[in-house]
Amino acid sequence: MGSGEAARSGAAAAPDGQQGAGGRGRRATTSTYQAGFACFVGRPNAGKSTLTNAIVGQKIAITSNKPQTTRHIIRGVLHRPDGQLVLVDTPGLHRPRTLLGERLNDLVRATWSEVDVIGLCIPADEPVGRGDRFITGELAALKATVLAVVTKTDLVGKEALAKQLLAVSELADFAAVVPVSAIADHQVDTLVDVMAGYLPDSPQLYPDDMFTDEPEHVLIGELIREAALEGVRDELPHSIAVVVEEIQPEARITRIFADLYVERTSQKGIVIGHRGARLKEVGSTARAHIEELLGTRVHLDLHVRVAKDWQRDPKQLRKLGF
């Protein structure tokens, strides 16, 4: 798979240094600088966002226990003395039912074709299934090196994990199969080492102090959306979009004006809550996270608006940034 390295499998199989010189995705045998792009793919809920966060060590991608909450591509830059691993976060590939679904799939494929290393995430606690086979097939034609990452290993015992590693390694000729638990912080560093080993020789891609190249307003929008979804995911799983209209930095405070879009008037009530209690809570939760992100005090002005059936309307989708 990928650039044709010898296939490796087995727990935490690391790429070795004996695979010849040069070429994309080859491990350098010297102390050269390696940098490149990587992403995690996998079925919804496989643990991609949680793993990305664990690696970058910053709350940049939104996670939830409901599928398909990751919408924007968010990069995290991991700085190492010998290189840079740039993580790109993608939504899950899924059967498109709406225009939003189709756009998301296009976005996913576009990302896949631009990265050097892809980690296919398969949870340790769920059997390898049709979805995993489908994604594996889609990955086969790419130039990237593909690793399998068996996620959530804290949820299973040793024996079940061994079986899962075997089942996963039988799916395809992965460059490596790495078991990992982002939540228990088990093997996360090993995974990074393995991924970094497949990056091409390259000059530094981003300055040392850069952790993400996502525009501030997108990150802020994600933090607001995450806060707004808290507790109402069952009622409105994919019906909330956020547009940050204005960010005004002042001497001691940053003023942020944002609109929260729902699809129907009935949903507006859910988001606002009794006498505005929920919206107030959403505002203070989001504000705390934004203050952390920006390192300043924040005044957050939230408005809830209805954009009828925005998921199906191309004009609305464009306006909402899709």
Binding site for ligand GTP (CB under 6 A): 42, 44-50, 63-65, 67-70, 91-92, 151-152, 154-155, 181-183
Cα angle vertex 291, ends 289, 293, to 5°?
Answer: 70
CB of residue 224 vs ligand GTP: minimum separation in angstroms? 17
Binding residues for GTP: 42-49, 89-93, 151-154
55, 175 Cβ separation under 8 angstroms = no
CB of residue 276 vs ligand GTP: minimum separation in angstroms? 29
Residue 50 or 145: the one with the smaller Cβ distance to ligand GTP is 50
Q: Which of 174, 139, 127 is nearest to 11 (CA)?
A: 174
Cα angle vertex 218, ends 86, 271, to 5°?
Answer: 130
Distance CA(235)–CA(169), nearest Å, equals 38
Determine the angle formed by the axes of helices 130-139 and 99-112, rounding to 10 degrees.
50
Residue 67 or 273: the one with the smaller Cβ distance to ligand GTP is 67
Residue 68 or 105: the one with the smaller Cβ distance to ligand GTP is 68
Residue 97 or 280: the one with the smaller Cβ distance to ligand GTP is 97
Distance CA(161)–CA(181), nearest Å, equals 12
Residue 49 or 164: the one with the smaller Cβ distance to ligand GTP is 49
CB of residue 188 vs ligand GTP: minimum separation in angstroms? 9
* Tally of residues, the chain: 322
Extract the tokens encoding 144.
């990237």
CB of residue 153 vs ligand GTP: minimum separation in angstroms? 7
Binding residues: 42-49, 89-93, 151-154
Return the H-helix or E-strand segment holding 164.
helix 158-169
Residue 125 or 193: the one with the smaller Cβ distance to ligand GTP is 125
Looking only at the bridges linking them, the beta strands covering 34-41 and 74-80 are: unpaired
Amino acid letter for position 196: A
CB of residue 285 vs ligand GTP: minimum separation in angstroms? 18
Extract the tokens encoding 187.
């093997």
Quote the DSSP letter at residue 274: G
Q: Which of 309, 290, 287 is nearest to 219 (CA)?
A: 290
CB of residue 113 vs ligand GTP: minimum separation in angstroms? 19
